[in-house]
A and B are shown apart, each in its own frame.
Chain A
Amino acid sequence: MDVSSPPVSLEEGLVLQIQRMSTEDGPGLRSTAFLKACPLSCAWCHNPEGISAKPEVEWTAGNCIAAGTKDGCGACVAACPSRALARDPSGALRVDRRACAAAQDKGDCRLCAAACPAGAVQVLGTRYSASRLADELAKDSSWFSGSDRGGVTLSGGEASAQPAFARETLRLLKGRGIHTALDTCGVASWENLCSLYPYVDLLLWDLKESDSALHARFTGLGNERILENLKRTADWMGSHSYPRAMWIRTPVVPRATDREDNLLAIGKAIARIAVPRLERWELCAFNNLCAEKYRRLDKEWEYATSPLMKAQDMDRLLEAGKRGLDTGAWTGAQAPSVAWTGSTGPGTGRKEA
Chain B
Amino acid sequence: MATLKQPYGLSPRVERLRSWYFEGADRGWNNEYSAWTTGTPWDSQFNEITYYIVPEVYALIGAMASSYRLSARPVKLADGFWTLSLPERRAWFVKEVMTKHLPRDFLPGDLLCGARFNIQTSLCFTQKEAKEFDRLVRGKNGARAAAIGFHNHGYGNAGATSGHLVPGYQRVLEIGWKGVHAELEARYAQLSEAERKGPKGCQVRAMTTSATMARDLAAAYAEDARVLATKAGSTPRAAELRAMAQVLDRVPWEPPRDFHEAIQSLWLTHMLVMADENYPGPGVSFGRVDQYLLPYWEASKAKGMTRAEAKDILGCLWFHCNTAYDAQIRTGNNGITAGFGQLITLSGLGPDSKDMTNDLTMLFLEVIDEMSPILEPKPNVRLHRGTSEALLDKVVDMIEGSQGAPFLLNFDERSMAGMMREGKEGGIGRLIHKDNVHDYAPVGCLENTMVGNDRSGTVDCNLNLLKAVELALTGGKDLLPFTDAMSGVTEEIAQAGPATGDARDFTGWEGFWAAFEAQVAYIVRAIVGLYEKSESIRAGFFPTPYLSCLVKGCAESGRDVTQGGAQIGFVTVEAVTYATAVDSLLAIKHLVFDQHDCTMEELMDALKANWKGHEALRARALNKAPKYGRDDDEADAMAKAVMDLWCAQTWKHRTTSTGRQFRPGMLSWNYWAGDGYIMAASANGRERGQFLSNAICPSNGADTNGPTSNSNSVGKVLGGRSADKGDYGDYLNCLPNGASHTITFNPSMLRDGEHRAKFKAFLRGYAQNGGTALQVNMLDPGMLRDAQARPQEYRHLLVRVTGYNAYFTGIGRELQDEVIARVSHGRF
Chain A residues at the B interface, C-beta cutoff of 8 Å = 18-21, 23, 28-29, 63, 65, 73, 75, 117-119, 139-140, 142-148, 150, 352-353
Contacts and interface: CB of A to CB of B under 8 A. Distances in A.
B616 A143 contact: no
B705 A20 contact: yes
Contact of B762 (A19, A73, A75, A146): A146
Interface stretch (B89-97, B652-660, B750-758): B750-758
Contacts of A18: 705
Contacts of A63: 623
Nearest to A28: B761
A119 B761 contact: no
A156 B54 CA distance: 52
A149 to B, nearest CB: 10
Given A118-B623, A119-B624, A147 B709 contact: no
Contacts of B623: 63, 117-119
B139 to A, nearest CB: 51
A21 B708 contact: yes
B761 A20 contact: no
Given A20-B708, A21-B708, A118-B619, A146 B751 contact: no
A130 to B, nearest CB: 19
Interface string B746-788: 0011011001011011111101110000000000000000000
Contact of B761 (A19, A73, A143, A352): A143
Contacts of A144: 765
B631 to A, nearest CB: 6
A139 B752 contact: no
A65 B624 CA distance: 14
What band does the interface of chain B fall in when counting residues whose beta carbon is under 8 Å from A? Answer: 20 to 34
B712 A140 contact: yes
B761 A117 contact: no
B510 interface: no
B244 to A, nearest CB: 47
Q: Which 8 A-B pairs have the closest CB atoms?
A: A147-B761, A146-B764, A143-B765, A119-B623, A118-B619, A117-B619, A142-B768, A142-B769
A142 B765 contact: yes
Given A29-B762, A117-B616, A352-B751, A20 B709 contact: yes
B761 A29 contact: yes
The secondary structure that dominates the B interface is helix
B706 A19 contact: yes
A29 B708 contact: yes
Nearest to B749: A23
B620 interface: yes
23 contacts: A20-B631, A20-B705, A20-B709, A21-B707, A28-B758, A63-B623, A65-B615, A65-B616, A65-B619, A73-B616, A117-B617, A117-B620, A117-B623, A119-B619, A139-B709, A139-B712, A142-B768, A143-B761, A145-B764, A145-B768, A146-B764, A146-B765, A148-B757
A84 B671 CA distance: 48
Given A29-B758, A117-B620, A119-B623, A140 B764 contact: no
A214 B190 CA distance: 97
Given A20-B705, A23-B755, A143-B708, 18 more contacts: A63-B623, A73-B616, A118-B619, A118-B622, A139-B631, A139-B709, A139-B712, A140-B708, A144-B765, A145-B764, A145-B768, A146-B762, A146-B765, A147-B760, A147-B765, A352-B751, A353-B751, A353-B752
Contacts of B765: 29, 140, 142-147
B292 to A, nearest CB: 31
A160 to B, nearest CB: 26
Nearest to B623: A119
Contacts of B767: 146
Q: Which has the most chain B C-beta neighbours within 10 Å: A18, A23, A28, A146?
A: A146
Contacts of B705: 18, 20
Contacts of B751: 352-353
Nearest to B721: A142
Q: Which has the most chain A C-beta neighbours within 10 Å: B615, B757, B758, B760?
A: B758
Contacts of A139: 631, 709, 712
B706 A21 contact: yes
A21 B709 CA distance: 8
A110 to B, nearest CB: 13
Nearest to A119: B623
A75 B616 contact: yes
A19 B707 CA distance: 11
Contacts of B755: 23
A147 B706 contact: no
Contacts of A119: 619, 623-624
B762 A143 contact: yes
